Structure 1
Amino acid sequence: MTANLLALEGVHTHIGAYHILHGVDLAVPRGQLTMLLGRNGAGKTTTLRTIMGLWRASQGRITFNGQDITQMPTPAIAALKVAYVPENMGIFSDLTVRENMLLAARSARNVSQIDEARLQWIFELFPAVEKFWSHPAGKLSGGQKQMLAVARAIVEPRELLIIDEPSKGLAPAIINNMIDAFAQLKGSGVTILLVEQNINFAKRLGDTVVVMDNGVVVHAGSMRALADDEALQHSLLGLAI
């Protein structure tokens, strides 16, 4: 097995006439939580969508677990045990929490076929999922929807979780709950790539960090090293952690 579960090499992405990614090199070490940071418009979300095949790389190579996935369709990438939680969460508002979870459980035809032990583990991570099990997902609060989005992503075992700004708009107490949940997921051996604007969130969770600007990677290294270097933070992000 390679040390990096996911790797991007010289990846370019065009969206219509716009050239968004300009040769992205990025490595996600196996079993670690990698933070993807950068100012708004740096190319972070485009990078995640390109990894998932939602937008096609126009140049370069993406490998997952040693396998070239650059031209794979999104369902085939998901079938490799990769889950993606977009910034808008992708919740089906008219369906219940239970129905949202069942849709994400690819191997289950009904709720009784979802692994019971795994479901109880998810309920412990995100009590709101159990509390509002039979409620329409559209009636949940923003924080509860975010918990459901992550719960849905892990309803089956995953090797890689890709999550775009999970703390956006959440209250501090819910952010702390989310941090605890991600720490448990990482402890269970799941590799996580996480875009985040909340720097305290990044500092508490990240093992490694990648910083993007204008469609390229401008820094990669240890999260702790970046957190300890205010001059580097100002240089890369225009702020101090």
Structure 2
Amino acid sequence: MEQPNPNTLRPDPGHAEPLLQLTGVHTRIGQYHILQGVDLAVPRGGLSVLLGRNGAGKTTTLRTIMGLWKASEGTIRFDGRDITTLATPDIARAGIAYVPENMAVFSELTVRENLVLAARNGALDQARVDWICGFFPALRKFWNYPAGNLSGGQKQMVAIARAIVEPRKLLLVDEPTKGLAPSIVHSLIAAFRELKERETTILLVEQNFNFVRSLGDTVSVMDDGRVAHAGTMAALAGDAALQQRLLGLSLDTHQ
């Protein structure tokens, strides 16, 4: 494993404080020590990508940030505030939304009802709904259908729509393109780009390397529960040898 470089994993004091900062974070689940000292900085206003082989700790990192699993050591700071010990609802209220890999939707509720539950005070902003449906037209078509009757790709659209139905400071997304048709992937790219323009910071775990190469500003690569490399996506995308060393593959060979 490439050894972490403290100068790349931690922000330069001369630059603005990152929106999200993990310092020495450990997470234990039962007898398993999953995260083993994660240092991660997510700059404001861009899209940061978390890469790594299966089992490296990417999903555990997102769940630990969200408070679903508690860090046993280390600190998590968000927007200048220590959120390490906060409960998940308080973390959500601070401005973080999470889209898990398993497309968490309320199956018995309609698409509209799923979004209403995520809206502030249970009231949808029609202009924002129209904006979301511009990226995902199927949501309008199935507006009054039970979400459990939708396809996997359509459920993923509902899950992302729930997360962005209200403006968020930070969006955590775990493998959004998994199993999706190319047309929906293109819609996701457009949605994430516009979210960045609207000053939403995004931390994305993804295995579709061409997808993240087109979107990512910064990238961190995890290995064995730690961040082994951090830098710009452009630098990683342009260095096949670095890709091979960190990921065991070349981005150019994975469509």
Q: Give the TM interval when normalised to the shorter protein.
A: over 0.9
- Give the corresponding residue for 1:82: 96
* 1:93 aligned onto 2:107: yes
Regions of 4+ moved over 6 Å: none
- Give the corresponding residue for 1:191: 201
Q: Secondary structure, in 3 states, of the residue corresponding to 1:19?
A: strand
- Give the corresponding residue for 1:8: 22
C-alpha deviation, 1:190, in angstroms? 0.4
Q: Is the 8 A contact 2:115 2:124 kept in 1?
A: no
Deviates more, 1:176-185 or 1:18-27: 176-185
Structure 2 residue runs of 5 or longer lacking an equivalent are: 1-14
Q: How many residues align?
A: 237
Structure 1 residue runs of 5 or longer lacking an equivalent are: none
- Give the corresponding residue for 2:44: 30
C-alpha deviation, 1:118, in angstroms? 1.1
Paired residue type of 2:174: D
Alpha-carbon distance in structure 2 between the residues aligned to 1:123 and 1:171:
17
Cα RMSD (Å):
1.1
C-alpha deviation, 1:222, in angstroms? 0.2
Alpha-carbon distance in structure 1 between the residues aligned to 2:78 and 2:111:
31
Q: For 1:77-226, what aligned pairs fall within 5 Å after superposition?
A: 77-108=91-122, 113-226=123-236
C-alpha deviation, 1:2, in angstroms? 4.2
Paired residue type of 2:184: I
Alpha-carbon distance in structure 1 between the residues aligned to 2:156 and 2:81:
30
Q: TM-score, normalised by structure 2?
A: 0.91
Q: Secondary structure, in 3 states, of the residue corresponding to 1:4?
A: coil
| Identity %, equivalent residues | 66
Superimposed CA distance per residue, residues 77-114 of structure 1 (whole angstroms, 9 cap, x where no aligned partner): 00011100000011111111011111111322xxxx31
Q: Secondary structure, in 3 states, of the residue corresponding to 2:178?
A: coil
Alpha-carbon distance in structure 1 between the residues aligned to 2:65 and 2:88:
9
Q: Secondary structure, in 3 states, of the residue corresponding to 2:231?
A: strand
Superimposed CA distance per residue, residues 185-220 of structure 1 (whole angstroms, 9 cap, x where no aligned partner): 111110000000000011011000000010000000
Q: TM-score, normalised by structure 1?
A: 0.96
Q: Secondary structure, in 3 states, of the residue corresponding to 1:135?
A: coil
- Give the corresponding residue for 1:56: 70
